[in-house]
């Protein structure tokens, strides 16, 4: 019987073995860089290696001993290495960049110079330069607004930040008595007795359209109506005052007012005069803690607008002039000439107008009508205080509940913010978007759930902590603009 030869596996044929041997031979040059020239094709890793340097390619020459001849050279600056030769050649800092670096957003300035009057006064205050300055080195800011400012939420923080930075020149203007339940000022003592009647820009209205600096006129014909104003007994702010400025209306048949402060002799002055006119009576006290008490004598008609607490040294004074329920159009009630008289007495460097929350109650806004009313207020303010900078600050976010139980920004808030921005820029005044600074759409919904809570559950007002956040953002935005201004001024 013949023995069978073993069958060869088809994958191990002569052809297969020949191919394997050829592959091994071709692979040998890839095992060593020295055999690179024998390779059939470049290896994938060869593409990552730079080509060898050569004289023609300009690569680094191998190290050698000897010298290299140099061409003639000179120190020549280029755009890639040289600083500006002159101060005036340096590019002006961008307020938007500075504000972003500070964690805020920039104030929009349609001309780049709408806040120059304010910044110039701040610079004089910062350098304690009172010589020849009718404000005596004091920068006064008037912040008009609605209930948020009535309760001194944003304005209270702004006052503290400005005074920390530029000096404390006093608390500022305080209304004679509380015309609204929400009326409150931080860092000051204030009280009033019964016996006062009021007219307000929010109603009831005054027949002569005279409301004083803060939009409220306090009136009495009786004796014994009183009000007190003073420094707080505790805390780090508002602890000193040098003088009390009583803002009142001089008028025919005006009555007398008595003033006294501890350690000072009582003063009595008359508010009587031939015609209605804005006046200020000042009581000076030693710089420090003090309280002024004002009392009517009952021998005529007395109209008092409020009292300003100030100090006789450079610094910032920040007047919070809020009115509950206020809207921009309600200032139509104010007599323009009277407002100009009040501004001339107060000498503000900056006037802020912050409205919109109450307008959002309307549900629908007529763009042309609203722009006309806001524009008219801006022009009225500019006419009353021609030497002051003016700016519009937008309302805050305001939320409403959805059908699913969540919260969303009211559409009218977005409309109002854009209308205010457009109107402010068209009237050549600055604009601060407080809505965007606090986070834009949905921010109030986030704020009410924040820890600490930043928004109130009415979905409209900030808490004190929230007001402090917005005040900080607003202050940083203004300081970014001030930094850009001072850099421009130094380059001149």
Q: What is the pLDDT of residues 244-261, one digit of tens each?
A: 999 999 999 999 999 999
User: What is the pLDDT tens value at each position of the chain, 492 positions in all?
Assistant: 444 445 555 555 666 666 666 666 566 666 666 666 666 666 655 544 445 444 444 445 555 676 767 666 666 555 444 444 555 555 566 777 777 777 889 999 999 999 999 999 999 999 987 666 666 799 999 999 999 999 999 999 999 999 999 999 999 999 999 999 989 999 999 999 999 999 999 999 999 999 999 999 999 999 999 999 999 999 999 999 999 999 999 999 999 999 999 988 999 999 999 999 999 999 999 999 999 999 999 999 999 999 999 999 999 999 999 999 999 999 999 999 999 999 999 999 999 999 999 999 887 889 999 999 999 999 999 999 999 999 999 999 999 999 888 999 999 999 999 999 999 999 999 999 999 999 999 999 999 999 999 999 999 999 999 999 999 999 999 999 999 999 988 877
Radius of gyration of the chain (CA): 37
Domains 92-169+315-492 and 173-312 are alike in CATH topology: no
CATH class, 173-312 region: mainly beta
Question: Where along the chain do its domains lie?
Answer: 92-169+315-492, 173-312
- What's the CA gap between 405 and 7, in Å, rounded? 82
Mean pLDDT (the chain, rounded):
88
Task: Check residue 423 and give its pLDDT.
Answer: 98
Task: Check residue 403 and give its pLDDT.
Answer: 87
Task: Check residue 58 and give its pLDDT.
Answer: 47
Name residues whose C-beta falls within 8 Å of residue 68's C-beta, 6 or more positions apart in sequence. none
Kindly list the distances between the CA atom of residue 340 and the CA atoms of 274, 281, 347, in Å, as whole numbers in the listed order: 20, 18, 10
Task: Check residue 49 and give its pLDDT.
Answer: 45
Kindly list the distances between the CA atom of residue 65 and the CA atoms of 52, 53, 59, 68, 215, in Å, as whole numbers in the listed order: 21, 19, 18, 10, 89
Of 398, 402, 401, whose CA–CA distance to 435 is shortest? 398
Kindly list the distances between the CA atom of residue 14 and the CA atoms of 7, 183, 334, 352, in Å, as whole numbers in the listed order: 14, 104, 111, 96
138: left (phi over 0), alpha (psi -120 to 50) or beta: beta
Chain position carrying tokens 């006789």: 312
Task: Check residue 1 and give its pLDDT.
Answer: 45
Q: What is the pLDDT of residues 201-256, one digit of tens each?
A: 999 999 999 999 999 999 999 999 999 999 999 999 999 999 999 999 999 999 99
Task: Check residue 103 and give its pLDDT.
Answer: 83
CA angle, 278 then 190 then 271, to 5°: 25
Task: Check residue 362 and give its pLDDT.
Answer: 86
Which uninterrupted H or E stretch holds 160? helix 153-166
Of 46, 43, 64, 45, whose CA–CA distance to 55 is shortest? 64
Q: Give the homologous superfamily in CATH for domain 92-169+315-492.
A: SGNH hydrolase (3.40.50.1110)
């Amino acid at each position: 019987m013949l023995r069978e030869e073993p069958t060869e596996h088809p994958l191990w044929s002569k052809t297969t073995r020949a191919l394997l041997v050829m592959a091994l031979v071709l692979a040998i040059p890839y095992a060593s860089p020295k055999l690179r020239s024998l390779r059939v094709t470049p290896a994938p890793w060869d593409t990552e290696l730079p080509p060898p340097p050569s004289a023609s390619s300009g690569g680094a020459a191998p190290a050698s001993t000897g010298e290299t001849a140099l061409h003639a050279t000179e120190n020549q600056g280029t755009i890639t290495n040289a600083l500006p030769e002159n101060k005036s050649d340096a590019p002006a800092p961008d307020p938007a960049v500075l504000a972003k670096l500070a964690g805020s957003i920039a104030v929009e300035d349609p001309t780049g110079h709408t806040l120059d009057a304010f910044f110039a006064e701040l610079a004089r205050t910062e350098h304690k330069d009172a010589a020849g300055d009718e404000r005596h080195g004091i920068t006064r800011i008037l912040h008009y607004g609605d209930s948020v400012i009535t309760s001194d939420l944003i304005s209270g923080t702004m006052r503290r930040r400005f005074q920390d930075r530029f000096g404390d020149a006093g608390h500022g203007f305080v209304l004679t008595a509380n015309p609204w339940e929400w009326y409150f000022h931080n860092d000051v003592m204030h009280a009033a007795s019964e016996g006062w009647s009021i007219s307000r820009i929010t109603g009831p209205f005054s027949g002569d359209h005279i409301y004083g600096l803060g939009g409220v006129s306090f009136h009495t014909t009786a004796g014994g109506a009183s009000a007190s104003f003073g420094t707080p007994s505790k805390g780090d702010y508002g602890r000193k005052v040098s003088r009390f400025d009583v803002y009142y209306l001089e008028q025919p048949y005006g009555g007398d007012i008595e003033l006294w402060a501890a350690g000072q002799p009582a003063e009595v002055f008359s508010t009587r005069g031939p015609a209605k006119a804005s006046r200020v009576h000042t009581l000076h006290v030693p710089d420090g803690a003090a309280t002024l008490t004002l009392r009517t004598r009952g021998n005529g008609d007395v109209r008092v607008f409020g009292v300003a607490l100030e100090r006789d040294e450079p610094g910032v004074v920040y007047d919070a002039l809020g009115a509950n329920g206020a809207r921009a159009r309600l200032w139509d009630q104010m007599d323009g000439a009277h407002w100009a008289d009040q501004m001339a007495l107060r000498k503000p460097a900056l006037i802020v107008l912050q409205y919109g929350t109450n307008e959002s109650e309307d549900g629908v806004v007529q763009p042309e009508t609203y722009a006309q009313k806001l524009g008219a207020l801006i022009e009225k303010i500019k006419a009353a205080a021609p030497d002051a900078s003016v700016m519009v600050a937008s309302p805050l976010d305001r939320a409403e509940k959805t059908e699913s139980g969540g919260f969303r920004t009211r559409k009218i808030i977005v409309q109002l913010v854009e209308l205010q921005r457009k109107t402010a820029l068209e009237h050549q005044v600055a604009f601060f978007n407080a809505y965007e600074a606090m986070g834009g759409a949905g921010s109030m919904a986030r704020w009410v759930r924040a820890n600490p809570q930043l928004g109130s559950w009415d979905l409209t007002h900030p808490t004190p902590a929230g007001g402090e956040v917005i005040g900080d953002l607003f202050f940083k935005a203004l300081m970014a603009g001030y930094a850009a201004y001072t850099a421009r001024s130094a380059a001149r």
